[in-house]
Amino acid sequence: MKDLLLIGKMGQVGQELQRTLAPIGNITSVGHESLDLSQAALIRQMVRDVQPRLIINAAAYTAVDKAESEPDLAAAINAEAPRVMAEEAQKIGASLIHISTDYVFDGHSNTPYLEDDVPNPVSVYGKTKLAGEAGISQVYAQSSELPYAILRTAWVYGTRGKGNFAKTMLRLGAERDEVRVVADQIGAPTHASDIAGAIATLATHFLNPLDSKVPTGIYHFTNSGVASWYDFAVAIFEEAKALGVSLKCDRVVPITTQDYPTPATRPAYSVLSCHKISTVLEAFPRHWRQALRQMLTEFYSQPS
């Protein structure tokens, strides 16, 4: 029996998890090239073949706007696949850590969302992610002795993996004199490496049979502090220039959500309270600007 099965190894968080999980146990890591998450039978066979003690699902259909026109595929990957993982995990006595999203909330709050606040997603993406959470919770409710965690996070970016907001801004900043960015959506930019670190801590607890102090269920994890996308963009350019990076852009213009219509509705406010997981981590997540500084330092130190 392997210790860990990591699903979604090539995503932003998945690549960081390969590093943070390495000291914990033996890992089998799979990506979309070897596991089609829209095929339940393939997921079942993978879990049965590997026989892990813990499954970590870092994979998802994350194209928020495209999901509006591909609801069935989004549901297969975000809703059905996590439930299947949970079913197979339970059969072999394995735990599951699953990554979810702030987009399960409608954004009508003006204070940070708690784990037990009532979700109300306003997009296909958010609805499918909430359905995935529900499937996992229902399966594990049948076996209370097995720990599991659903980790909601937000505004993920990182050095590794495909494009993200930070990398997009750096590209646009090198190409344009002016960048226009939405200023009325508020959240918490979160570095993928910090998410991976939090998951590694949970994994360590779950793999220790003598450790029963960590409650199972839903957790919120983001970097601390809040920002709009506009604030985030301004900080990206400021921190990049502080590192000596030459950018063409000298103006970041705040715009409204109405000025930048998209197929999917996004929550206006999706800040998550991280007090619950802070007790497990024995520390509060670092500020998003500090994490951004690290990401940019790593990004610009990579071989070109």
Distance between CA 148 and CA 98 in Å, rounded? 8
State the Cα angle at 281 between 83 and 219, rounded to 5°.
30
Distance between CA 268 and CA 250 in Å, rounded? 27
Contact between 8 and 58 under an 8 Å Cβ cutoff? The reply is: yes
Helix or strand (DSSP H, E) at 236: helix 229-242
Distance between CA 150 and CA 135 in Å, rounded? 11
**Cβ neighbours of residue 96 closer than 8 Å, sequence gap 6 or more:** 54, 55, 56, 57, 82, 85, 86, 89, 136, 140, 148, 149
Contact between 252 and 233 under an 8 Å Cβ cutoff? The reply is: yes
Q: Which residue of the set 61, 103, 113, 125 is catalytic? A: 125
Distance between CA 229 and CA 187 in Å, rounded? 8
Based on the residue annotation, tell me whether 103 is a catalytic residue of this protein: no
Place of tokens 């998450």: 37
Q: Which active-site residues does the annotation give?
A: 125
